[in-house]
Structure 1
Amino acid sequence: MGQSLVQNYIHIIFSTKHRQPFIKPEIEDELYAYLGGICNRMESPPIKIGGYMDHVHILCRMSKKIALIKLLEELKSHSSKWIKTKSDELKQFYWQDGYGAFSVNPSEVNVVTKYIVNQKEHHRKKTFQEEYLAF
């Protein structure tokens, strides 16, 4: 076979350090766009990015050229540096060390996308910790 076909859909979740509610409505869209730009640069096109005040969800099609840990390092380090420039309140911003990464069946991409879109509604009923443990 002369060419490779890879379609690895990954649902990535990571939180702010100590689950601090730093991701306020006035910055979330810009943060999600910034994270999407990193995904694109890493040849892992984002499908949906969203989250809540203390964590983000990224659904992307993972590049066949890089390891998952490399994508996470790029996402977390660059976005952390960027977000600190947005206001004095965010100068103490850090991401938590850990993360969750879950493979997604191509037939379930729409389900995960809807889940990410509905994060605000979802977290009216369930905390991030409860959500994460359910995964």
Structure 2
Amino acid sequence: MNTEELNFAYRVRHALNEKLDDLPASTTERLAAARKAAVARKKAHVEVRVARTAPAMAGAGTAGFGHAFGWMNRFSVALPLVLMLCGMVGVYQYEQQQSIAELAELDAAVLSDELPLSAYLDHGFNAYIETRGQ
């Protein structure tokens, strides 16, 4: 259906919808019957087209390279998902290693400091650190 036919159909539908209440009952019944017949013809036309193309499409997978590379189509869908999952696991592992390295550096700094460990537990030491930071 080209653009002109589609526009004409829209204009007819719009005109019928505007005057729908003014149409006599016999006309609305005839229009409803015509619509049912048109829908039935359209469904029959679509079913015939599907019935004709289905056998042709069924044989297409076995001819030439279609059947030989069928696994490749499925693999091409799964491969990006697997790569994304591996990338996410890699980023997670990297972040974990970075966190472990930072904590190890902090522990080494605390243990190699001249202050005894009990100083870090003293509440007065926290107050001293806060006032020194200002």
Whether TM-score is above 0.5 comes out as no
More strand by share: 1
Please identify the structure whose Cα radius of gyration is greater: 2
